[in-house]
Amino acid sequence: MAKIDKAVLLAAGRGTRMRELTVNLPKPMIEVRGKPVLQHIVEGLREAGVRDFLIIVGYHADAVQNFFGDGSRYTIEIQYATQVVQDGTGRVVDLARNFAGDSPFVLNYGDILVDPANYKRLLDLPHDVEAIISVTRGEDVSKGGAVFLNERMELVDLREKSKPG
């Protein structure tokens, strides 16, 4: 796998479970320790070597675009794409196709904080690794997406919020 210097960040959702906090801004723009969650993510990825970002926006897109602009203040480049219909994470890859082309990229939720050291570990993978996905096992897939792997632990399908039963 070639050096990863691109990231697609998902920041289009409404954050409906956080009601009062997301009336006027999207969930990735909620402040944690004095700055928006999305800023923590952008800075962590930048420190790991990512320089080219595509932020998928939707709900209150202007809050994200006005805050980050073109990325020059962070010494990175930021482009935006709008997810008009909130039809799940899997569909976002289509929005990122022109941005990423054949280049490897990080696909990251814009509202989940992780230890920034993990970004560096992810980007320092051996060159023979074609792709990596980080998931958490859950019993009730109706609360999130379902990931299907084959016997070699390769991704074969990704389904958004399956119905219970």
* % pLDDT > 70, the chain: 79
Chain segment 58-80, per-residue pLDDT in tens: 989 999 999 999 999 999 999 99
pLDDT of residue 141: 61
pLDDT band at 4 (very low <50, low <70, confident <90, very high): confident
Examine the pLDDT at 35 and tell me if it is beyond 90. Answer: yes
pLDDT of residue 161: 65
Instruction: Decide if 99 contacts 81 (C-beta within 8 A).
Output: yes
Higher pLDDT, 102 or 86: 102
Chain segment 87-112, per-residue pLDDT in tens: 777 777 788 889 988 888 899 989 98
Using a cut of 0.75, tell me whether the model's pTM lies above it.
yes
Question: Could you give the domains of the chain?
Answer: 6-131 (3.90.550.10), 135-165 (no CATH)
Alpha-helix residue ranges (DSSP H) falling in 1-148: 37-48, 61-68, 92-100, 117-123
Q: How far from the centroid of its chain's Cα atoms is residue 3's Cα?
A: 18
Q: Which of 3-12, 18-27, 107-116 has the lowest mean pLDDT?
A: 18-27
Instruction: Decide if 76 contacts 9 (C-beta within 8 A).
Output: no
Examine the pLDDT at 151 and tell me if it is beyond 70. Answer: yes
3-state secondary structure 103-114: CCCEEEECCCCC
Examine the pLDDT at 127 and tell me if it is beyond 80. Answer: no
Q: How large is the average pLDDT for residues 125-132?
A: 70
Q: How large is the average pLDDT for residues 130-135?
A: 68
Distances (CA, A) of 14 to 18, 106, 163: 9, 22, 20
The overall average pLDDT reported for the chain is 84
The C-alpha torsion from 37 through 35 and 66 to 104, rounded to 10°, is: -40
**Inter-residue long-range contacts of 26-32, CB under 8 Å, 24+ positions, other chains counted:** 26/57, 26/58, 26/59, 26/60, 26/61, 26/63, 26/64, 26/110, 27/110, 27/111, 28/64, 28/110, 28/111, 29/60, 29/63, 29/64, 29/67, 30/111, 32/113
